[in-house]
Chains A and B, each alone.
Chain A
Amino acid sequence: MCAKATSSSALKKKLILVSDEFYSDMSADGMIYAKIFRSPFPYGKITSMGLAAGEKFPEEYGFFSYKDLPGAKKIRTINTEFNVFCDGNIKYKGEPLGIICGPDKKIIDELMSKIKITLDNSIISKKERDFSSHYETLTSNPYTGKPLSQKKSSSNSNEDVKITRGLVGTKEISTGNTDDVFSDPKNYDFIVEETWQSKIQNKPNKEVAGAFCLVKNTNLHVYSSIQWISHLRKALQCTLDLADEKIITTRTNISSQNGNSIWKNTLICVQTSLAAIKMQKPVMMMLSRDEQRTYIENASPVIFYYRTAVDLEGNILAMEINIEIDIGTYNPFAKEILERLMIASTGIYMTKNLKIKGKIYSSNTPPTALNFSTIDSAAFFAIENQIQKISEVTGISPLELRLRNQNRKLSTQKNPEMPFLHDLGNTSLVLEAVCKKSDFNRKAAVFRLAEKERFENSGTYQPPRRGIGLACAFEGSGYFGSTFKGNNINIQLELTEEKKLIVNTIPPSNSIKEIWTKIICDSLGFEKKNITFVIPLSDAKEEKSPCSTTPEALLGSISIKTSLLRKCVEAIKKQKDKKLPLTVKKSLSPSKLKQWDNESFSGIPFFNTSFAACTVEVLFDEYTYRERILKICVVIDGGKILHIKAAENAVKTSIQKTLALLMDDDTLTCPDVSVQFLQSESEPKQIGHIIASILPAAFTSALSQALTKTLSRLPLQTDTLFKIYEPEA
């Protein structure tokens, strides 16, 4: 047990602060810089590491590695432990071996190039022999499908070898009997099989991950864009052997709101803090843009294989889904990622015979990133494109196919046929509304006929290739999975004697802050300046469980917190005449948590779910071999929309952001974007990231129709369409 007991005086002292500044803009007198020294090899056992004999680090420079950590050498995150620095056994190329710090960045770079690493030869030889034996069966790259070059494998250099993946986890759920259905062709009219792959990666050019640390009056000050405060504080206590009250963490401005750096940021802060303590100087560490891309923003490649049996009327009789995900060397949230993907892999559809198999692989590549906000988007990309493909094979309209197969059972009814239940509201209304708005039915039919005409009549004039795609998805908030700690989701409001309102939670973004402020102002008649949001003191307390406030609680619980905030506000309204100060606290109801059974992996997995549908119309320009998006229509059922303009702006911004991710080397735009919300009085639901689940699938469906070729991977490259279309031309 490495955390020390916290005295009440420490709680009163401000240990957790918030700043509007970016950490990368901070400085202090005597500040030095730090860089991570990374392994150039993907595997090996280090026997020695340092400068050549006779050389030593200049006086103002330092190099620290795992043996310099005064406390634990590992950081515990949920059920995974990972090294702060490599312990000698290299696990992946780029693994941090140490940290170099000093006043001049150029000299740091020179020193890094001079450090020599010696590896144990016996380990290398064994690994290479293992690889050679695997090579016999491994003739193509498992990720790109391209054949492995003979030259590359025969050289077998340490830098280039990639060990085959290892299976680290599996999960399977099934209902009905899919084997029976698939075994006899008389049971179905169509079989539709396809493999879908999504590896959409964030391409931000915002502040890179890093930290600014200094020791002042025996206290360690850490400044960084921290999103998981309890995890960071615990890690600092354990690895640096510091008492809780000696650590002051300041959350600086977060320029890019995503979950990728949630736990990786802790590692960087610990490394930088070690340097600050050893050097007794302020230390600034910023990753380079390449490091940010390779070690922080690297997405987990996810592969979905679907096999669906369909009858003449378009009913899905059986569905088999295989999911494979490569987490790199490790990912503490691998289990949750797989669970969420499995839940989303069936979309809104129902079938009596269902089998979902999920597999988690590890490989000696950097630990992958996890974006909690868009965790389901890869699954929706797959299922929605699968539905589109079924539509093409069967000839049934995409809208009709969706309406026919949607899971109409309400969450309150028992439904043994499907393991997952979602309260999606009126999905038919949303689908029909978006199709009406975009004239989907007519256009889909016309474009389909145009293709048929093109095929039958190869005259000199051909109409432009156009396509229109439809996709729908839900966004679940507050996932009751294995890492969810519902007892930590609560909101406390304090009305002080000076008639100021203190809210004990920090809104994750400015738009959420605007919405919460509006709720308070509208109900209680407060002015904005009298409302303050603070980080709850509970984050500074000793916690028995590894991390009781998980990232899911932080990011996925916005709608839960909004609901609790409204309840708090109502409670204060009723008690306003009572003596001040007045404190009201609301927590998540235990009955909600019981709706999901982790053991059987069934029930209602989310606190609430919003639903949206989208159509995308594209034109394929046969002169430039490039796509042009003509129109995007979105209809969302997000419950009661508290601030329509803000919601519309947020959705349009989300559309812009998602369009920027669909192409690897270019940014797509659309001149005509329409966003509508269904009017509703039900509880407000989270809709901030639903676009990432519907837009990619609608886009590829539209392009697939335009090109009459299935596009099964994202992101695309600018020459992808050229490569597909050019042989035909």
Chain B
Amino acid sequence: MKIPMTINDEKTIIDASPDEKLIDVLRARHLMSVKKGCEKGKCGSCTVLLGETPVPSCLIPVGTVRECTITTLEHFLKTKAGSDIAKGFLQAGMEMCGFCNASRIFMTYSLLEKSYRPTTEELNELADSIKCTCTDRKTFINGVLYATAIRHRREERKDV
């Protein structure tokens, strides 16, 4: 079945069975930032942006994302928002295992889109939502805070 969609800003037509998992379709296109983790939608290794929302691609049949916009991590990191987060994590000294990168970065992006200045509760909730234990919680939260500051500097937004 031909399924039109936009993947990483590129309009494309996927030829796949509609019940095929989005993760398999993306990995077949060599978008390897989408990792196979638990394959149950819990670990976040397969997170992609569906529009502006992080979703687990292992639970999404490709037929349901017809005409939608999908962004994977390798493309997102080239954007300004992605670059802010990557720099923030680097500044915090975060070392990620490689499997949870998509989850951490996209969930952070989602938080920063919703909240100009994340509260302690929001940060704790974000840290709780990341199941991977490769990085300690405090370092991750610091990374998010650094990313927030870098984003504000880039957007030249002052404290309100």
Please list the residues of chain A having a beta carbon within 8 angstroms of any beta carbon in chain B.
22, 24-25, 27, 205-208, 253, 255-256, 286, 289, 510-511, 645, 649, 652-653, 656-657, 660, 667, 669
Residue of B nearest to A105 (CB): B24
**Chain B residues in the interface with A (C-beta under 8 A):** 30, 32, 35-39, 42-43, 45, 93, 95, 97-99, 128, 131-139
Chain B positions within 8 Å of A27 at CB level: 30
Which A-B residue pairs are the 5 nearest by beta carbons?
Answer: A205-B43, A25-B32, A652-B136, A205-B37, A657-B133
Task: Report whether A652 and B138 are in contact in the complex, using a CB–CB cutoff of 8 Å.
Answer: yes
Q: Which residues of A contact B35 (CB under 8 A)?
A: 22, 24, 207
Known: A255-B99, A653-B135. 20 other contacts (CB 8 A): A22-B32, A22-B35, A24-B35, A24-B36, A205-B38, A205-B99, A206-B97, A207-B35, A207-B99, A255-B97, A289-B39, A649-B93, A652-B137, A652-B138, A653-B133, A653-B134, A656-B136, A656-B137, A657-B133, A669-B128
CB distance from A201 to the nearest CB of B (A): 15
A sample of 11 inter-chain contacts (CB < 8 A) reads: A205-B43, A205-B45, A255-B98, A256-B97, A286-B36, A649-B139, A652-B136, A652-B138, A653-B133, A653-B134, A667-B131
| Contact among A207, A253, A289, A653 with B136 in the assembled complex (CB-CB below 8 Å) | A653
User: A624 vs B159: C-alpha distance in the bound complex, in angstroms?
Assistant: 41
Smallest Cβ-Cβ distance to B17: which chain A residue: A106
- In the bound complex, how far is the Cα of B58 from the Cα of A205, in angstroms? 13
Verify A205–B97 contact, CB threshold 8 A: no
Q: How far is the CA of A286 from the CA of B36 in the complex (A)?
A: 10
Q: Is the CB–CB distance between B38 and A289 below 8 Å?
A: yes
Q: Are A22 and B98 in contact (CB under 8 A)?
A: yes
Query: How far does the alpha carbon of A521 sit from the alpha carbon of B45 in the complex, in Å?
Result: 35
Q: How far apart are A80's CB and chain B's nearest CB, in angstroms?
A: 31
Whole-angstrom distance between the alpha carbons of A652 and B128 in the complex? 15
Q: Are the C-beta atoms of A206 and B99 separated by less than 8 Å? A: yes
Chain B residues lying within 8 Å of A653, measured Cβ to Cβ, are 133-136
Q: A511 — which chain B residues lie within 8 A by C-beta?
A: 95
State in angstroms the CA–CA spacing of A669 and B133 once bound together.
11
Tell me if A205 and B132 are in contact (CB < 8 A).
yes
- For the complex, what is the distance from the CA of A660 to the CA of B132, rounded to whole Å? 9
A205/B131 in contact, CB under 8 A: yes
The chain A residue with its CB closest to the CB of B95 is A510
Chain A residues near B128: list those with CB within 8 A.
669
**Are the CB atoms of B98 and A253 closer together than 8 Å?**
yes
List of B residues within 8 angstroms of A657 by Cβ: 133
| Min CB–CB distance B110 → chain A (angstroms) | 20
Which residues of A sit under 8 angstroms from B93, Cβ to Cβ?
645, 649
Chain A residues in 8 Å Cβ range of B132: 205
Cα–Cα, bound, A166→B84 (Å): 59
Contact A206 B37 (CB under 8 A): yes
* Closest residue of A by beta carbon distance from B36: A24
B136 touches A649 (CB 8 A): yes
Minimum distance in angstroms from B149 CB to a CB of chain A: 20
State A61–B128 Cα separation when bound (angstroms): 45
- Which A residues are CB-close (under 8 A) to B45? 205
Return the chain A residue nearest B138 by Cβ.
Answer: A652
Q: Complex: how many Å from CA A286 to CA B24? A: 14
Shortest Cβ distance from A562 into chain B, in angstroms?
19
Q: Which of B38, B97, B138 has the most CB of A within 10 A?
A: B97
- Bound-state Cα–Cα, A455 to B136, Å: 41
Please give the distance in Å from B57's CB to the nearest CB on chain A: 14
Interface centre among A27, A653, A669, by most chain B C-beta atoms within 10 angstroms, is: A653
Q: CA separation between A649 and B93, bound complex, in Å?
A: 10
Distance, CA A22 to CA B39, complexed state (A) = 18
Q: Complex Cα distance A253/B32, Å? A: 14
What's the nearest-Cβ distance from chain A to residue B132, in Å? 7
CA distance A657 to B97 in the complex (A): 13
Q: Which residues of B contact A25 (CB under 8 A)?
A: 32
| Closest A residue by C-beta to B33 | A25
Contacts of B30 in A (CB 8 A): 27
Q: Name the CB-closest residue of A to B37.
A: A205
Chain A residues in 8 Å Cβ range of B139? 649
Cα(A649)–Cα(B38), bound, Å: 26
Instruction: Output the residue of B37, B99, B128, B136 with the most chain A CB within 10 A.
Output: B136
CB-defined contacts of A510 to chain B, threshold 8 Å? 95
- A452–B110 alpha-carbon span in the complex (Å): 50
B32 shortest CB reach to chain A, Å: 4
What B residues does A206 contact at CB under 8 A?
A: 37, 97, 99
CA distance A575 to B38 in the complex (A): 53
Partner of B133 from A208, A645, A660 at Cβ < 8 Å = A660
| Chain A neighbourhood of B134, CB < 8 A | 653
Residues of chain A lying within 8 A (CB to CB) of residue B137: 652, 656
A289-B43 Cα distance, complex, nearest whole Å? 12
- Residues on B with C-beta less than 8 A from A669 are 128
A87 to chain B, nearest CB (A): 32
- A289 contacts across to B, CB distance below 8 A: 38-39
Task: Say how far A318's CB is from chain B's closest CB, in angstroms.
Answer: 41
> Whole-angstrom distance between the alpha carbons of A208 and B97 in the complex?
14
- Note all chain B residues with C-beta closer than 8 A to A660: 131, 133
CB distance from B23 to the nearest CB of A (A): 12
B135 surroundings in chain A (CB, below 8 A): 653
Complex formed: what's the CA distance from A68 to B37 in Å? 33
Q: Which residues of B contact A667 (CB under 8 A)?
A: 131
Please, which residue of chain A has its CB at the minimum distance from the CB of B27?
A25
* Whole-angstrom CA separation of A653 from B97 in the bound complex: 12
Bound complex: CA A27 to CA B95 (Å): 26
B30, B36, B39, B131 — which one has the most chain A CB atoms within 10 A of its CB?
A: B36
In the assembled complex, the Cα of A669 lies from the Cα of B131 at a distance in Å of: 11
Instruction: Give A434 to B93 CA distance when docked, in angstroms.
Output: 28
CB distance from B31 to the nearest CB of A (A): 10
The distance from the CB of B1 to the nearest CB of chain A, in whole angstroms, is: 16
Distance from B24 Cβ to chain A, minimum over Cβ atoms (Å): 9
* Residue of A with least CB distance to B132: A205
A255, A511, A652, A657: residue with the most chain B Cβ atoms closer than 10 Å: A255
Tell me the complex Cα distance, A22–B137, Å.
25
> How far apart sit A653 and B93, CA to CA, in the bound complex (Å)?
13
Instruction: Tell me, in angstroms, the Cα distance from A373 to B137 when the chains sit together.
Output: 22
Alpha-carbon separation in the docked complex, A207 to B39 (Å): 12
A643 to chain B, nearest CB (A): 11
Residues of B within 8 Å of A649, CB to CB, are: 93, 136, 139
* A645 CA / B138 CA spacing, docked (Å): 12
Residue in B closest to A511 when the chains form the complex, CB atoms: B95
B143 to chain A, nearest CB (A): 12
Query: Within the complex, what minimum Cβ distance (angstroms) separates A290 from chain B?
Result: 10
Contacts of B133 in A (CB 8 A): 653, 656-657, 660
In the docked arrangement, what's the CA distance between A309 and B121, Å? Answer: 50
Q: Give the distance to chain A from B61, nearest Cβ to Cβ, in Å.
A: 15
Chain A residues with CB below 8 A from B97, complex form: 206, 255-256
Q: Please indicate the chain A residues that have their CB under 8 angstroms from the CB of B43 in the complex.
A: 205
How far is B139's CA from A40's CA once the two chains are assembled, in angstroms?
46
Chain A, residue nearest B39 (CB) = A289
Q: Given the complex of chains A and B, what is the CA–CA distance between A656 and B128 in angstroms?
A: 11
Pick from B42, B43, B93, B137 the residue with the most CB of A within 10 Å. B137
Q: How far is the CA of A533 from the CA of B134 in the complex (A)?
A: 23
Shortest Cβ distance from A207 into B: residue:
B99
- Bound-complex Cα distance A286 to B27 (A): 14
Interface centre among A649, A660, A669 (most CB of B within 10 A): A649
Question: Within the assembled complex, what's the spacing in Å between the Cα atoms of A667 and B38?
Answer: 15
CA distance A25 to B72 in the complex (A): 15
Query: A22, A205, A656, A660: which has the most chain B beta carbons within 10 Å?
Result: A205
